Chain A
Amino acid sequence: MIEVKNLTKKFGRRRVLENVSFTAEKGQITCLIGINGVGKTTTLKAIMGLTPYKSGTILIDNEPISKQVYEKITFIPDAAIMPPSMTIGEALVFMQDFYSNWNNERALELLKFFNLKEEFRIAELSKGNTAKVNLLMGLAIDVDYILMDEPFSGIDIFSREQIANVFTSHLIEDRGVIITTHEINDIEHLIDKVILLDNGSVLKEFYTEEMRSQEGKSVIDVMREVYRA
């Protein structure tokens, strides 16, 4: 389980996150939704130890982030991260070199699944293919948790479909996934849990199926209530 407790962060005087608390379970897809920009990405970066924060506690299976924990959790930003001069194949070799739990068979399976070739150069990938390579590299490390920043935004519809298909396939196994998004439309049925953020605070945390059975509300219904209040 990923536990975020009272996470507070400032940029200069401006508060970016204020007492953000939530949990994300293994085997579930948790979705951080926020309509106004700030907060979501910063939260993921804070979980990964990629940005300092003022106060709060973040635990991953009861441990703070460390170099060992980087074999258990990975972050997929919404931009290319491997050096542009590398080919996909070289990027995979790089990953294999550093991660003791790299699963090359799975990497190759995913290459096929996404119709990508090892010879493709990172610099020449489309936005959609970049997202797929990022996801591939995250899934091929045998991590327990994957954090993805806006995996569905700004990419073509077929890439979106392929990425969504990963979430419903065996490839995701029983990993815990946290994704951020500002748009819920095509992924309502993919997610277990929703955390609604606004101006750096958590407004509501709920399970989608519970919300539907108990109150007969869709995620968008809840968003309307919460954000318009």
Chain B
Amino acid sequence: MNHFFKLLNFEINRFIKIYASLLAIVIIIQTIGVAVVSNSFVNRANEMMMENRWTQEEFIKSNGKMSFSEFMNSFWFAGPIAIAATALIFYIFLIWYREWYGKNTFIYRLLMLPASRYSIYFAKALAIFLMVLGLVGVQILVLPLENELFKVIVPNALREVLAVKDLIYTNAITMVLIPSTFTQFLLHYSAGLMAVFTLFTAILMERSYRFKGIIFGVLYCAAVLALFSAPLFIAAMLDMGNMLYPMEFLMVEIVLGFIASVCSILIGHQLLTKKVSV
């Protein structure tokens, strides 16, 4: 256990600089985005009122008030999240491949540590998971501040005031990242973790069997995906979409996800102990 936390700490530390830059990118681009989107709205409003000799009320009647969700639906909001998400997905691969293909072959040391190979495996998985949570956490913290900035730029009369909570539940991205109930939160993030385990297993297959391993890995991912979506397909194919209640459907998915994760972890550990080659 001790070794696990040391490894986790090590894994986070070695990515911390890039990770911090990712967070910085999110904060900076979004802040700039709030300013740009808000200002352009205000400018447009002023221009239109000037040109058409409208009062504020007339402008609002034809154009509506601006709400913060306009920013959240723009590229300024989604773009940096997509960049950070892509980087983290990429890092799911890099966190393994860097051990072999870095300037130095750290995998030697890693596999020779007097630590269980589970510790190595879970430290990597949890490092990624914590970095995702951290990113979402930062987004939650930054969102109200961005909202304040919006309020500063857009005059009271021209804006629609929405609570941050409502903003989150009306945006497609934040709805997934920051679900409204704890159960949903658990579901979303355990699905994410399962995806990480699945990819890890595919990566370790490649590391163990090289070219053949790539094929095994792709097949494995497809199999997990098929397993996970089987209830949907079966229901659709048999035309009995109403056979399972949503709650039952959820339970089936949870059980399947659990099975898939356990399989991934066991196979991954087996590969890391017996098959992987330095």
Residues of A in contact with B (beta carbons under 8 Å apart): 45, 48-52, 67-68, 70-71, 74-75, 77, 79-85, 94, 97-100, 122-123
Digitize B110-127: 1 where CB-to-A-CB distance is under 8 Å, 0 elsewhere. 011111110000000000
Contact: B114 with A82, CB < 8 Å? no
Bound Cα distance from A83 to B277, whole angstroms: 19
Q: Nearest CB to that of A137 among chain B residues?
A: B109
8 sample A-B contacts, Cβ–Cβ < 8 Å, listed by A number: A48-B112, A52-B277, A71-B114, A77-B105, A79-B104, A82-B104, A83-B14, A122-B104
Q: Which residues of B contact A48 (CB under 8 A)?
A: 112
Contact: A99 with B114, CB < 8 Å? yes
Contact: B115 with A85, CB < 8 Å? no
Q: Which residues of A contact B111 (CB under 8 A)?
A: 49-50
Q: Nearest CB to that of A42 among chain B residues?
A: B277
Bound Cα distance from A52 to B116, whole angstroms: 17
- Other-chain contact of A52, B104, B108, B274 (Cβ < 8 Å): B274
Q: Which residues of A contact B61 (CB under 8 A)?
A: none
Contact: A75 with B277, CB < 8 Å? no
Q: Which residues of B contact A68 (CB under 8 A)?
A: 114
- Other-chain contact of A51, B112, B115, B278 (Cβ < 8 Å): B278
Contact: A84 with B104, CB < 8 Å? yes
Say which size band chain B's interface belongs to.
20 to 34
B246 at the interface (CB under 8 A from A): no
Q: Nearest CB to that of B212 among chain A residues?
A: A12
Bound Cα distance from A71 to B115, whole angstroms: 10
Count A-B pairs with CB separation below 8 Å: 65
- Other-chain contact of A67, B6, B114, B274 (Cβ < 8 Å): B114
Bound Cα distance from A122 to B104, whole angstroms: 9
For the complex formed, measure the closest distance between the CB of B99 and the CB atoms of chain A, giving whole angstroms. 10
Given known pairs A94-B10, A97-B6, the reply for A81 and B108 (CB within 8 Å) is yes
- Other-chain contact of A82, B106, B115, B275 (Cβ < 8 Å): B106
Given known contacts A98-B113, A99-B114, A122-B104, what 7 new A-B pairs fall within 8 Å (CB)?
A70-B112, A81-B106, A83-B104, A84-B104, A98-B3, A98-B115, A123-B104
Bound Cα distance from A97 to B102, whole angstroms: 23
Q: Which residues of B contact A97 (CB under 8 A)?
A: 6
Contact: A77 with B108, CB < 8 Å? yes
Contact: A84 with B277, CB < 8 Å? no
For the complex formed, measure the closest distance between the CB of A48 and the CB atoms of chain B, giving whole angstroms. 7
Contact: B105 with A79, CB < 8 Å? yes
> Which residues in window 204-263 of B have CB below 8 A to A?
208
Contact: A67 with B116, CB < 8 Å? yes
Q: Nearest CB to that of A50 among chain B residues?
A: B278
Q: Nearest CB to that of B14 among chain A residues?
A: A83
Bound Cα distance from A66 to B87, whole angstroms: 35
For the complex formed, measure the closest distance between the CB of A9 and the CB atoms of chain B, giving whole angstroms. 10
Bound Cα distance from A130 to B3, whole angstroms: 26
- Other-chain contact of B103, A67, A80, A100 (Cβ < 8 Å): A80
Q: Nearest CB to that of B273 among chain A residues?
A: A49
Bound Cα distance from A70 to B3, whole angstroms: 14
For the complex formed, measure the closest distance between the CB of B275 and the CB atoms of chain A, giving whole angstroms. 5
Q: Which residues of A contact B102 (CB under 8 A)?
A: 83-84
Contact: A67 with B109, CB < 8 Å? no
Bound Cα distance from A84 to B10, whole angstroms: 14
Q: Which residues of A contact B208 (CB under 8 A)?
A: 52
Q: Nearest CB to that of B17 among chain A residues?
A: A85
For the complex formed, measure the closest distance between the CB of B222 and the CB atoms of chain A, giving whole angstroms. 25
Pick from A48, A67, A99 the residue with the most CB of B within 10 Å: A67
Contact: A81 with B114, CB < 8 Å? no
Contact: B275 with A52, CB < 8 Å? yes
Bound Cα distance from A123 to B104, whole angstroms: 8
For the complex formed, measure the closest distance between the CB of B111 and the CB atoms of chain A, giving whole angstroms. 6
Bound Cα distance from A61 to B106, whole angstroms: 27
- Other-chain contact of A70, B103, B106, B113, B278 (Cβ < 8 Å): B113
Contact: A75 with B108, CB < 8 Å? yes
Contact: A45 with B114, CB < 8 Å? no
Q: Which residues of A contact B3 (CB under 8 A)?
A: 98
Contact: B6 with A84, CB < 8 Å? no
Bound Cα distance from A68 to B113, whole angstroms: 9
For the complex formed, measure the closest distance between the CB of B22 and the CB atoms of chain A, giving whole angstroms. 18
Q: Which residues of B contact A100 (CB under 8 A)?
A: 114
Bound Cα distance from A215 to B14, whole angstroms: 57
For the complex formed, measure the closest distance between the CB of A53 and the CB atoms of chain B, giving whole angstroms. 10
For the complex formed, measure the closest distance between the CB of B206 and the CB atoms of chain A, giving whole angstroms. 15
Q: Nearest CB to that of A41 among chain B residues?
A: B278
- Other-chain contact of A98, B103, B114, B275 (Cβ < 8 Å): B114
